[in-house]
Amino acid sequence: MFDKLLPQSIDNTYRGYKIALWLFGLVVGVRITQSLSVIFNGYDTARAADGIPVATYTPEAAQQMVALFSQGSLWRLTLGLLCVLVLVRYRSAVPLMFALLLLNYLTGQLIFQFVPLVRTGTPPGPYVNFGLFILMIVGLVLSLRSRGTRNYLAYDARAT
């Protein structure tokens, strides 16, 4: 299992289930979309998706909050683009990237326990991110498991 999580050489050889690649692509695509949404439309995204009462802030505080969210999203976008590179060219690192995405989500949730966000209502963002978290767990497990292969030569030998 650790050989797949931390392969000795990183190449395009992938030994997990193919559905994990699709889950990885879906998770990465949503995360990149989220990042671009915050970078280019941070005020509305923070208000609608995350339930942050930006309109109640002073203009300077709102600008500061949107700027900090945008910077965080730049990191998220960079990690997402690295994941795209892994998906296209270095597939043996897919389990490692799943693990890093999971670690990123879990540490973010840990930080929110100590520094909580003030939210209004029940915004969809946390539910979407939790759904991505579940997909990441499933994808990691499927990427670490080897695909079953049939031994056709042994089967043919028994048939004769």
Q: Are 86 and 80 in contact, with CB atoms under 8 Å apart?
A: no
Taking the C-alpha atoms of residue 114 and residue 109, their distance in angstroms, rounded to an integer, is: 9
**Domain membership flag for residue 2:** no
Contact 141, 102 (CB under 8 A): no
Q: How far apart are CA 24 and CA 14, in angstroms?
A: 13
Is 1 a domain residue? no
Q: Are 96 and 30 in contact (CB under 8 A)?
A: no
**pLDDT, tens digit (0-9, with 9 covering 90-100), for 81-133:** 999 999 999 999 999 999 999 999 999 999 999 999 889 889 999 999 999 99
pLDDT band at 149 (very low <50, low <70, confident <90, very high): low
Residue with more model confidence, 154 or 138: 138
Residue 30, in any domain of the structure? yes
* Residues near 111 by beta carbon (within 8 Å), at least 6 away in sequence: none
Cβ atoms of 39 and 75 closer than 8 Å: no
Query: What average pLDDT does the segment 138-148 reach?
Result: 90
159 in any annotated domain: no
Asked if residue 35 is part of any domain, the answer here is: yes
Encode 64-95: b = buried (16+ Cβ within 10 Å), e = exposed.
Answer: ebbeebbeebeebbebbeebeebbeebbbbbb
**CA triple 100-106-112, angle to 5 deg:** 135
- 97 is a domain residue: yes
pLDDT in tens, 59-89: 999 999 999 999 999 999 999 999 999 999 9
Q: What is the pTM of this model?
A: 0.85
* 158 domain residue, yes or no: no
Tokens found for residue 46: 């923070």
How many domains does the structure of the chain reveal?
A: 1
User: Is 68 domain-assigned?
Assistant: yes
Rounded CA gap, 58 and 55, in Å? Answer: 8
pLDDT at residue 32, rounded to an integer: 98
In terms of residue numbers, what domain contains 111?
A: 15-145
Residue 140's pLDDT band (cuts 50, 70, 90): very high
How many angstroms separate the CA atoms of 99 and 116, rounded?
24
